[in-house]
Amino acid sequence: MTATAATLAPGAAIAPGYEIIEHLSRGRTLDVYDVWSEERASRCIAKTLRPDRADDPSARRRLEREGRLLGRLTHPHIVRGYALLARPRPVVIMETLTGETLAHLIEEDDRLSPVEIAQLGLQLCSAIQYLHRHRFLHLDLKPSNIVAETGRAKIIDLSLARRPGRARGGIGTWCYMAPEQVTGGELATGTDVWGIGVVLWEATTGQPAFGGEEDEALLPSPSQEDLAEELHPQLRRTADPVRRHRRLPATLARAIDATLARNARARPSLAALAALLEEVPGVVSPRSPRPS
């Protein structure tokens, strides 16, 4: 690691009133820290630009857009954003979660039951429907962006969220992108249905449907179609039927397989997907009264 890319040390102030406790992770453009908030007298999570990306205007815009969006959203399955700070560097302050990422649970072979997989899908449908009502797509659903906390899933990263419409190819993480994300097609609600599907497929089987994750991997430009197809198996083939890898209730398998149709128009709507998941034996509908 170069000196310019060094992380902030414990005890340093990332912003006035926010003291570094620990560096948690580093991505292509961002650092994530565990911090102490004097205002809240509690720990928080702080996301900021890496020092060597501080002058990257595109990375700064994405971080600021995520901070503003999180400040507008209040949903039980989306991490809560507390503040977007501008000085001395842009920092997004978020709530601290105590659970593990779904990626960690899969890596530890902590296999979810069919009912738990269906409940996970229902919670993701709920969060993504809410995001869509605010006219944003998520576009980067994957196990490392979901925290499981006492039976509740929370989406923790909205850094790639954007409005529906056509976008350049390669926005997302290469092995989780829908085909239309890879090629620079029209991005719509069905793109996030695919995202839920690849998460549920991996939670079910313990392995990605289309290879392994690379942090914020970017696709070659759409003009490089041959190279794109080599790097992105979702352009060449359909995901294996999930029951080829694990015994599941037929309704759950049908729901997961339907989300991974290569043609976005063939995928179910979020409402239809949620209805299928509620039919899985043993699943408790979110609308059901709490047991007394």
| pLDDT value, residue 221 | 46
Q: Is residue 286 part of a domain?
A: no
C-alpha to C-alpha distance for 98 and 83, rounded to whole angstroms: 20
Strands in 91-94's sheet, in edge-to-edge order, are 13-15, 18-26, 30-37, 42-49, 91-94, 81-85
Same domain, 52 and 109: no
- 54 with 109, same domain: the answer is no
pLDDT of res. 213: 55
pLDDT of 10 reads: 97
Instruction: Give 211-237 as a DSSP string.
Output: S---TT--PPPTT-HHHHHHH-GGGT-
Share of the chain above pLDDT 70, in %: 91
Number of structural domains (the chain) is 2
- Domain CATH for 74: 3.30.200.20
Do residues 14 and 158 share a domain? no
- Is the pLDDT at 174 greater than 80? The verdict is yes
Domain assignment present for residue 3? The answer is: no
pLDDT tens for each residue of 133-173? 999 999 999 999 999 998 899 999 999 999 999 888 788 89
Neighbours of 127 (CB within 10 A): 23
Q: Residue 214: which pLDDT band, with cuts at 50, 70 and 90?
A: very low
Of 94, 118, 144, which residue is a domain's last?
A: 94
Domain identity same for 175 and 42: no
User: Higher confidence at residue 2 or residue 97?
Assistant: 97
Distance CA 63, CA 35 (A): 18
Same structural domain, 255 and 180: yes
Domain that holds residue 21: 8-94
Q: Are residues 132 and 258 in the same domain?
A: yes
Pick from 63, 94, 125: which residue ends a domain?
94
Q: What span, in angstroms and rounded, lies between the C-alpha atoms of 118 and 123?
A: 9
pLDDT at 80: 97
Measured CA to CA, the distance from residue 18 to residue 284 in angstroms comes to 41
H or E element in which residue 24 lies: strand 18-26
Mean pLDDT in residue range 87-97: 93
pLDDT score for 89 = 87
Residue numbers annotated as active site: 140
66 & 107 share domain: no
218-273 tens-digit pLDDT: 444 444 444 455 578 888 889 999 999 999 999 999 999 999 999 999 999 999 99
What was the pLDDT predicted at 3? Answer: 45
pLDDT computed for residue 289 by the predictor? 83
pLDDT classification of 215: cutoffs 50, 70, 90: very low
Is the same domain home to 119 and 242? yes
Tell me: do 138 and 263 sit in the same domain. Answer: yes
- Clarify whether residues 36 and 149 are in a common domain: no
- Domain end among 35, 67, 94: 94
- Structural domain contains residue 23: yes
